[in-house]
Amino acid sequence: MASLYTKVKKYLEANSKTWDAEQDNIKLQNDGSGDFIKIWSVSGLAEPTDEQLTTYNSSATTEESNHLVRKTRKKAYGDIGEQLDEIYKDIDAWKARIQSIKNANPKE
């Protein structure tokens, strides 16, 4: 299940709006029984209902999964300087290593 943050982000994107962290136009809170929208001040867009947010669950889950895959791949790829050195020394070995990392961490 996707986080409320990601579902709200998807709702905003679908309605050509953005989350303005500097303006604090949206605040989420958790009172111990789950996350909820505490503040909603998005000009021209009503606060989403639970039903509306549920429609973004699939795409939000995919986004979160792919973010985790990118993070895992980035760590496995290693330092860019070391990669460049590896490419210079043996580009075929580098290609094989990168492909094995991608195969082990597929995106949805």
pLDDT in tens, 15-29: 999 888 777 789 999
Domain count, the chain: 1
* Higher pLDDT, residue 20 or 32: 32
Q: Domain range holding 22?
A: 4-104
b/e for 5-43, b at 16 or more Cβ within 10 A?
A: ebbbbbbbeeeebeeeeeeebbeeeeeeeeeeeeeeebe
Counts of helices then strands in the chain (DSSP H, E): 5, 2
Query: CA-CA distance, 57 to 10, in Å (whole number)?
Result: 9
Neighbours of 56 (CB within 10 A): 21
The model's pLDDT over 47-95, given as tens digits with 9 standing for 90+, comes to: 999 999 999 999 999 999 999 999 999 999 999 999 999 999 999 999 9
What was the pLDDT predicted at 108?
84
pLDDT at 80 (0 to 100): 95
State in Å, rounded, how far the first CA of the chain is from the last one: 15
